[in-house]
Chains A and B, each alone.
Chain A
Amino acid sequence: MNPRTLALLCSLAAASPAAAADLPIFDAHVHYSHDAWEITPPPEAIAILRKAGLRRALVSSSGDAGTQRLVALAPDLVVPSLRPYRTRGELSTWVRDDTVVAFLEERLRNARYAAIGEFHLYGADADLPVPRRMVALAKQHKAVLHAHSDVDALERIYRQDPDARILWAHSGFDRPDMVRDMLRKHRNLWCDLAFRSEHGGGGKVPAEWRALFTEFPDRFMVGTDTFTPERWHYVVEHANWSRAWLADLPPALGERIAWRNGDALFAFWKPAAAQ
């Protein structure tokens, strides 16, 4: 362990935050990609997640080795998801890259995943052969699909597999009324709130979001979205920011969004040591 890692771990241990003990968080949107693990090695990354008071974190990485390193260190904490990206640069090319299928199949043969994603998929691209195969693999392996998608792509996925369980990344960056329509239509749709601020800015939940959370108390969860290495240093702050606006909701509802919904969606996932 290098001196910097040791120093960080010591400082994190010494500064165990009071807030972390208050409300556990299921962070449904964490990435640990190749450039992140080069800068923030796995022990540091796990220390950050624990300092943030995360109960569990849905982690996906480009490439998958980042997720595997974290799972190996903290199987109780990390819920692994398989991205169809070998590097972060494949975000807009994967849908037409046939080699992605072989990559997914190989990974699914050799490791267990609770989800496939986060992937970026829009409109008619969802019906291309590579995404179709991915949806089929998710069905075969009983994995949740973590989709950064528009409404059109979600509908196409549901037509391919009406029983698909989809975690809608960023709630599609859609307006609350659009999100409501989709949640009413699809009982197997959940939403993360990553990289959105309007539902909890200043620790206050606006009326339209409060109504949405109240109508669908079991469908939302929070997420940091560590899409660049720097954002690992935002995980703790994001968790505390989330606690602030969740405290503006009735306690039972806040607790659901904070962690119970994530726990429920991924209740089927058991860490390797517990199998």
Chain B
Amino acid sequence: MASARQLAAIALVAAAVPAIAQAPPPVTFTDAEVRRILSLGPWPPPPVVDPSNRVSGKAEAIAFGTRLFADPRLSTNGAIACTTCHQPGRAFTDGLPRAQGLARVDRNTPTVNDVGGQRWYGWDGAHDNLWAQSLRPLVDPREMGDGVAHVAAAVRTHGDLRERYVAVFGRPPPADDEVVAVDVAKALAAYQEVLATPRTPFDDFRDALARGDAAAMARYPQAAQRGLKTFVGAGNCTACHLGPRFTNGEFHDIGIPFFVEPGRVDPGRHAGIRRLGASRHTLTGPFNDDPVRAPGTSTRHVSLEHRNYGEFKVPGLRNVARTAPYMHNGSLATLRDVVRHYSDLPEDRLHADGERILKPLGLDRYGIDDLVAFLETLSAPLPRP
């Protein structure tokens, strides 16, 4: 952070002296910072195929999932589809602080872009695979339904759905409602696995850095470079927002209050681990199509700890400028609010030994501008109308 402030200060001084001094100083990165920047790519990653989902990567399943995702007949009132909250035109979010399905939900709608290949799903990580996560809103009374029966009935009774189901799964919908509903969820997962964010200005900079192309690097805005330096340097943001997806896929308490309403708390990861342990729809359960079942290791070994109470998943940051509002409860309206939160981090809300890596960034207004500028380059420019 000190570096970014110094840079900003230099830029201010430069503005007050003759024109020859007005060019901002170039941003330089240490070797460690360069390594961290390079680790944030390349993008896009290879396509994901989920071995626990037998229709993952299959074109017919992706097409079926695409239709199901927008089909309100999967909801009990026939009016709510996955796209009600995961709106394609809003980067698969809804713009609301907390989702609104059949009722108001406790949490913010996360994007489903880049959702394939993760270890845990949901703000609380209650699921260890994408098809189980896809089933959850279908059977949640606050979101789309009240169990697996209505999902199975929709597939059995609507000819177009039944026909596509047979084409994808090679048999008519069986009598077991749960089997049908999980299959529907697997088709939905197959679709979501292919939802990838496009390359961004940051990716162009990162790749130019990798090949030593100074001319291409220079096209990346100076403010974004300063923000990037904070992100990978003094800000230590890559402690959690790491890798090409900008997330470690784990859970942390970052000082965001987690009361849902007076007298009611969202326990986050703590409840998620309990739900994971009680679920049949895990990589260790009977619906995993992978005969090897190797991916279930994390699920078998996850342990419930006191620190999990109030932890929520670290979201990826790709397309982050398109997914406001932010945090598990949508309590921060803008990227600037998010950066301010980390800048002024309420340390007294963090356990002294629970989240040692978190320290207030202490950014001034220029530092905040720079970090926001960097985060905005993690989204591809919107297409011209």
Q: Which of B47-55, B105-113, B298-306, B376-384 contacts A (4 or more CB under 8 A)?
A: B298-306
CA distance A254 to B100 in the complex (A): 47
A148 closest partner in B (C-beta)? B352
- Residues A195 and B307 in contact, CB atoms below 8 Å apart: yes
Q: A40-B263, A225-B351, A228-B310 known; 18 other A-B pairs, CB under 8 Å?
A: A88-B348, A91-B348, A148-B352, A195-B306, A195-B307, A195-B354, A197-B305, A201-B305, A225-B306, A227-B349, A228-B257, A229-B257, A230-B309, A233-B264, A233-B265, A234-B265, A234-B267, A234-B306
Q: State the Cβ distance, A164 to closest chain B Cβ, in Å.
A: 21
A170 closest partner in B (C-beta)? B353
Interface SS of A by simple majority: helix
One digit per residue, 1 when the CB lies within 8 angstroms of any chain A CB and 0 when it does not, for chain B 319-354 equals: 000000000000000000000000000111101111
- Residues A39 and B353 in contact, CB atoms below 8 Å apart: no
Tell me whether A230 and B310 are in contact in the complex, defined as CB-CB below 8 angstroms, given that A91-B352, A120-B352, A201-B305 are known contacts: yes
CA distance A197 to B351 in the complex (A): 14
- Residues B307 and A197 in contact, CB atoms below 8 Å apart: yes
One digit per residue, 1 when the CB lies within 8 angstroms of any chain A CB and 0 when it does not, for chain B 347-364 equals: 111011110000000000
Q: Within 8 Å CB of A231, what residues of B?
A: 309-310
Q: Within 8 Å CB of B352, what residues of A?
A: 91, 120, 148
Instruction: Determine whether A250 belongs to the interface, using a CB cutoff of 8 Å to chain B.
Output: no
Q: Within 8 Å CB of A201, what residues of B?
A: 303-305
Q: State the Cβ distance, A5 to closest chain B Cβ, in Å.
A: 9
Q: Within 8 Å CB of A233, what residues of B?
A: 264-265
Q: Within 8 Å CB of B257, what residues of A?
A: 228-230
CA distance A233 to B353 in the complex (A): 20
A interface, CB within 8 angstroms of B: 4, 8, 39-40, 44, 87-89, 91-92, 120, 148, 170, 173, 195-197, 201-202, 225, 227-231, 233-234, 238
Q: Within 8 Å CB of B262, what residues of A?
A: 4, 39
Interface residue total, chain B, C-beta cutoff 8 A: 23
Q: Which of B275-318 contact A (CB under 8 A)?
A: 303-307, 309-310
Can you list 12 A-B contacts (CB < 8 A)?
A8-B263, A39-B259, A88-B348, A120-B352, A195-B351, A197-B303, A225-B306, A230-B259, A231-B310, A233-B265, A234-B265, A234-B306
Q: Within 8 Å CB of A92, what residues of B?
A: 347
Q: Within 8 Å CB of A225, what residues of B?
A: 306, 351
- Residues A229 and B259 in contact, CB atoms below 8 Å apart: yes
One digit per residue, 1 when the CB lies within 8 angstroms of any chain A CB and 0 when it does not, for chain B 247-263 equals: 00000000001110011
Q: State the Cβ distance, A189 to closest chain B Cβ, in Å.
A: 19
Q: Within 8 Å CB of B263, what residues of A?
A: 4, 8, 40, 44
Q: Within 8 Å CB of A173, what residues of B?
A: 353
CA distance A170 to B352 in the complex (A): 11
Q: State the Cβ distance, A15 to closest chain B Cβ, in Å.
A: 14
B260 closest partner in A (C-beta)? A230
Q: Within 8 Å CB of B353, what residues of A?
A: 170, 173, 195
Which 10 A-B pairs have CB atoms at the shortest separation, nearest pair first?
A88-B348, A197-B305, A233-B265, A89-B348, A230-B265, A173-B353, A201-B303, A195-B306, A234-B309, A230-B258
Most chain A CB neighbours (cut-off 10 Å) among B258, B267, B348? B348
B268 closest partner in A (C-beta)? A230
